A and B are shown apart, each in its own frame.
Chain A
Amino acid sequence: MIEYSPIPLRKFVAPEFLFGSGAISMLSRYIKNLGVKKILLVTDLGIVKAGWVSVVEKQIKDSGISHVLFSGISPNPRDDEVMIGSEIYQKESCDMIVAVGGGSPMDCAKGIGIVCINKKHISEFEGVDKIPLPGPPLVCIPTTSGTSADISQFSIILDSVRKVKMAIVSKILVPDAALIDPITLSTMDAKLTAETGMDALVHAFEAYVSNASSPITDLNALRAVELIRNNLVQMIKSGGKGEHADNMMLGSLLAGLAFSNASLGIVHAMAHALGGFLDLSHGECNAILLEHAVNYNYESIPGKYNDLAKAMGIDINGMTYTQIKNALTESIAELRYKSGIRHGFSELGLKKEEIPLLAENALSDACIVTNPREAAKSDIEELYAAAF
């Protein structure tokens, strides 16, 4: 007899989003409906170069309003960049922010919004629910199929002094609208496609096994895993266009909906520590760590991992837990390898003696809280070492 357990109480927050071909051209409608006068357009030079900024600028122009371009953003957005952006916003008397790009410009735009309204340094919002007042209207246009910052409650900003990525978590950070158009993926190179795609896979995995997951996030997470497993490598091969790209964009969106509400786990906690310390690619760190984290977590929540194994296309019938665990980690490693991410942390510049500090930072990260298995510092150190 199966024991009855009531459905745990959960919240699900998502922004209004337009998904599909032509979503990017709907920006002018949002500008008009919000009745704003001047826009701060936040992006990075790569996106400018790719041509998506001019597409957006044309729409702003067509709406009959002015804008200021702020494109001085690093791949891992820094606290000082947020403060500069906020100054520009106030100096130029802007009343709306549009972010175009990957996770970096979108996280930075979220930071600028809350700083200019609350008039505090960005570091004061680190943690969960530390933002008193919401920022100005924010519309995000993602150009990668991975970060899902366009729909998430997270903003990850590098503390340039401490060299730590600060996780700012609040439902207030969820943007007002996301215009998700797969066409924007066509300008990604293979490396970026691989890193962001693997990032999306980690989002789905961690959300699904999170101790804050819910049936609704589970639905999104599992479907996301299937879509990513089936389309990532093909998308890389097809140059970011067509059906695979569309599916990857959808997979990323579903993974985003899942992790934004169920949160993440040990992979992100460790990746944040690493990324802040070595300024490494977030997606790449996640990709290297995932198989080791699954191996570490599996025992604590095998049922959920078995679901994920199925979603990864593994026929688990007749398999023992250990067999399933091994098959799952292997399938992850295979996907990573096929995507082109084939090295460990040592090759990225990590030194063994740096691991204890990283472990400590990872333990302080908000993402560690929802990991299914409570980790000790030594566990984390071992995980870094395994991925060395």
Chain B
Amino acid sequence: MPQPFDGNTEKEILRNKIMGMGDASLKKSYYTQLQEHVINLEKSRIETEESFKRAEANKNLFIALFNQASDGIIVVDVESGKFKFCNKAFTDMFDYHSDNPLLSFNSVLPIEDAGNLENALKKMASGEIRFLNNVVIHKNDGGIVYADISGSAVEIESIKYVLAVFRDMTGARKLEIEKAEFASKLNQAQKMEAIGTLAGGVAHDFNNIIGGIMGLAEISLDETQGNAELQDNLNQIIKACKRARDITTQLLAITYKTEKKYEPVSFNEIIRDSVVLLKATLPAGVSIRVTESAKEDTVLADHAGISQIIMNLCTNSAHAMNYSGEICIKTRNADVDECLIQKNPELLPGQHFLLEVSDTGCGIPKEIVDRIFEPFFTTKEKGKGTGLGLSIIHGIVKNHGGVISVYSEEGLGTTFRIFFPISQQHHKMSETENLSETLIAADADILLVDDEEVLVKVGEKILEKMGNRVVSFTSPLEALAYFENNCNTFDAVVTDMAMPKMNGLQLAKKIHDIRKEIPVILCSGYSDELMKDKTDMKDIARLIMKPFSAAEMTRILAEVLHSANQ
């Protein structure tokens, strides 16, 4: 409630105000309000400008993050299926590099995959699913992308979208497949190793048995002269034994443990020689085209083994083409790098000689392609193939430090590809050894040791027939004891390798301890020990592989004695 005026001064002030002379007296004016508005407008303009700058910075940051992300990110309109945003990783993933903006999955992918993805994303938008693992997506160019997809609903400016993240698992998936292939190859190699070991063991026992049969048959042949019927029978036995020996020899080749002499050879030259032989034996319908691109062709190899590879592969090809068509032989040099080693762990880095033998034949069915190198595996009719051809090739290649692989398509043909390491040595021109027939005659005292009694008997007969005198033992210890007392009465020692208590090498060493210069001939069917330590071979003058024929033993003994006397 207004109070009465309290004295003249206050009244005077009020009077002045009424007159319009007060400090705050102003005619109606909007200037102050306007000024305030202008200041507020300016403030809000600055704020807006700063907001724009912040928004721009945030946008740039978002775009950078969006496009730097290694996962493909996409925002899709749930209703229409149209894309709102997608990042670089996404377009890269599906090789979409057009200037046109992405419209929908249909513009990137084949219809079926596009439809599947749209359905999956709809389910993600509704929350039905959150994650899809290892989705296979076909691209328009035929490529495949394996992706893990996660997604959820987002609302932008009142429109429902689904935000999906595509993680490219293609690399990881390929690695898994390669790992599986590698494991399969390793498994195959181990299987081959086991079969080889088994075959080797069997071959050893067979050789001893066949040696006895063949030796006795040969001796009996001499002793039954005049009885044509019996001689014919014996010849059949000897022939059968030789066939059996060939099979065991081949079995040993599978184990890569045959005693072969490796020397630098010209691979191209062997191919040319083999092709001449093949052309002579294969029907006229089969032609052979050779393309020699390899400049470096010297490999450290067994000449016969390489020849066998070419002969076997070409024979197989001719058969696969039903003896009508062309066999292509190509050679080139290849540098084996880490990448190739990863696929073929048996390979060593460096220059290789690459041999390719291709045909246009029936091809190898997929389901058996993994088994073709197994011994006795054959698709040929019974009696037409032993099933050893490819396993022998596999063994030879392996023994040379090489690798063989096959690529085949049913109905189109087959290509075998073989890598051999290039040797730095130069190959020698083939030498021919002329052995003098005069050397065959002998008149020597021989100490013969073999734990197999039948073989001792056979050995005695062969050596004595040559005009030698033989003292034989089935125990190496007894033989050694005898030799100690009569060392100067012998001209040579012939000993088996695998014997109980003391093997051939050990015996040879003991003998040389007693008498240094006496030559020792070692007979072997098959021996792991022999391969393990080749330095022990210094006590051995010659090695003869069992089962040997009388002629072989005669020739070798003659050579050894001839050398000893010189």
Using a CB–CB cutoff of 8 Å, the interface residues on chain A facing chain B are 9-11, 13, 126-129, 133-134, 153, 162, 164, 169-176, 211-212, 261-263, 360, 363-366, 368-370
Known: A11-B25, A129-B24, A369-B11. A360 touches B18 (CB 8 A): no
Q: Which residues on A sit within 8 Å (CB–CB) of B27?
A: 13, 171-172, 174
Selecting from B28-36, B94-102, B134-142, B241-249, the interface stretch reads: B28-36
Q: Answer whether A127 and B19 are a contact pair too, CB < 8 Å, given A366-B14, A369-B14.
A: no
Contact B20 A261 (CB under 8 A): yes
Q: Which residues of A contact B29 (CB under 8 A)?
A: 134
Given known A171-B25, A171-B27, A172-B28, contact A10–B2 (CB-CB < 8 A) = no
Q: Give which listed residue, B14, B20, B30, B33, contacts A171 with CB less than 8 A.
A: B20
CB distance from A217 to the nearest CB of B (A): 10
Roughly how many angstroms separate A8 CA and B25 CA in the complex, as a whole number? 18
Contact digits for B1-26, partner A, Cβ 8 Å, 1 yes 0 no: 11111000001001101111110111
Q: Say how far B259's CB is from chain A's closest CB, in angstroms.
A: 112
B26 in complex: contacting residue of A128, A172, A360, CB < 8 Å: A172
List 7 tightest A-B contacts by C-beta distance, closest first: A11-B20, A364-B2, A128-B17, A212-B19, A129-B24, A134-B28, A263-B18
Which residues of B (176-201) have their CB < 8 Å from a CB of A? none
Q: Please, how many angstroms separate the alpha-carbon atoms of A164 and B3 in the complex? A: 13
Query: Out of B18, B28, B32, B33, which one reaches A128, CB within 8 Å?
Result: B18
In the bound complex, what is the Cα–Cα distance between A11 and B5 (angstroms)?
Answer: 24
Q: Are B32 and A129 in contact (CB under 8 A)?
A: no
| In the bound complex, CA of A360 to CA of B5 (Å) | 11
Q: Are A128 and B14 in contact (CB under 8 A)?
A: yes
Given the known interface contacts A171-B25, A172-B26, the answer about A127 and B2 at a Cβ–Cβ threshold of 8 Å is yes
Q: Which residues does chain A contribute within 8 Å of B22, judged by CB atoms? A: 128-129
List A contacts of B32 (CB < 8 A).
133
CB proximity of B25 to chain A, nearest CB, Å: 5
Told that A11-B20, A364-B1 touch, could you supply 6 new A-B pairs with CB distance under 8 A? A128-B14, A128-B22, A153-B20, A171-B25, A172-B26, A173-B28
On whether the beta carbons of B26 and A363 are closer than 8 Å, the reply is no
B residues near A, CB below 8 A?
Answer: 1-5, 11, 14-15, 17-22, 24-30, 32-33
B1, B3, B4, B17: most-surrounded residue (chain A CB, <10 A): B17
Contact B21 A9 (CB under 8 A): yes
CA gap between A263 and B18 in the complex, in Å: 7
Give the contacting residue for B18; candidates A133, A162, A363, A366; CB below 8 A.
Answer: A366
Cα distance, A262 to B20, chains bound together (Å): 9
- CB contacts (< 8 Å) of B1 on chain A: these are 162, 164, 364
Q: Which residues of B contact A128 (CB under 8 A)?
A: 14, 17-18, 22
A365 to B3, CA, bound (A): 9
Alpha-carbon distance A114/B91, docked complex (angstroms): 64
> Closest Cβ of chain B: how far from A82's Cβ, in Å?
18
Please give, as numbers and ranges, the residues of chain B lying within 8 Å of A172 by CB-CB distance. Answer: 26-28
* Interfacial chain A residues near B19, Cβ < 8 Å: 10-11, 212, 261-263
Chain B residue numbers with a CB within 8 Å of A211 are 15
A368–B2 alpha-carbon span in the complex (Å): 13
Distance to closest chain A CB from B138 (angstroms): 62
CA distance A364 to B1 in the complex (A): 9
A180 CA / B15 CA spacing, docked (Å): 29
Contact present for A129 and B17 (CB under 8 Å): yes
Kindly state the separation between the CA atoms of A10 and B27 in the bound complex, as whole angstroms: 14
Q: What CA separation (Å) do A153 and B22 show in the bound complex?
A: 14
Q: Closest Cβ of chain B: how far from A236's Cβ, in Å? A: 32
Q: Are A171 and B2 in contact (CB under 8 A)?
A: no
Check if B20 sits within 8 Å of A360, measured CB to CB: no
Smallest CB-CB separation from A162: which chain B residue? B1
Question: Would you list 27 pairs from A and B whose C-beta atoms are within 8 A, ordered by A residue?
Answer: A11-B25, A13-B20, A127-B2, A128-B22, A129-B24, A129-B25, A133-B32, A133-B33, A134-B33, A153-B20, A169-B17, A170-B25, A172-B26, A172-B27, A174-B27, A176-B28, A211-B15, A212-B19, A261-B20, A262-B19, A263-B19, A364-B2, A364-B3, A364-B4, A369-B5, A369-B11, A370-B18
**B15 nearest CB neighbor, chain A only:** A369
Query: What's the Cα separation between A11 and B22 when bound, in Å?
Result: 11
Contact residues in B for A153 (Cβ distance below 8 Å): 20
Among residues of B, the one whose C-beta sits closest to the C-beta of A214 is B19
CB distance from A192 to the nearest CB of B (A): 28
CA distance A10 to B20 in the complex (A): 8
State A369–B9 Cα separation when bound (angstroms). 11
What is the distance, in angstroms, from A369's C-beta to the closest C-beta of chain B?
Answer: 5
Tell me which of A9, A360, A370 contacts B4 (CB under 8 A): A360
Neighbour of A363 across the interface among B4, B20, B24, B28, CB < 8 A: B4
Q: How far is the CB of A172 from chain B (nearest CB, A)?
A: 5
Least CB distance from A137 to B in Å reads 9
Return chain B residues, CB-CB under 8 Å to A134. 28-30, 33
* Least distance between B6 CB and chain A CB atoms (Å): 11
Assembled-state Cα–Cα distance A233/B2 (Å): 38
Residue of A nearest to B23 (CB): A129
Could you tell me if A370 and B20 are in contact, using CB atoms closer than 8 angstroms?
no
Q: Which residue of B lies closest to A260 (CB)?
A: B20
In the bound complex, how far is the Cα of B2 from the Cα of A369, in angstroms?
Answer: 13
Bound together, the chains give a CA A354 to CA B2 distance in angstroms of 19
Give Cα A107–Cα B4 distance, bound, in whole angstroms.
Answer: 24
Q: Which of A170, A212, A363, A365 has the most CB of B within 10 A?
A: A170
CA gap between A169 and B19 in the complex, in Å: 10
- Bound-state Cα–Cα, A369 to B27, Å: 21
Q: B26 touching A212 by the CB < 8 A rule?
A: no
Min CB distance A30 to B, Å, is 15
- Asked if A369 and B28 make an inter-chain contact with CB atoms under 8 angstroms apart, the answer reads no
**Chain B residue contacts of A10, Cβ below 8 A:** 19
> Once the chains are docked, how many angstroms separate the CA of A10 from the CA of B19?
7
Name B11's closest neighbour in chain A (CB-CB): A369
How far apart are the CA atoms of A195 and B118 in the complex, in Å? 87
Q: How far is the CA of A255 from the CA of B15 in the complex (A)?
A: 19
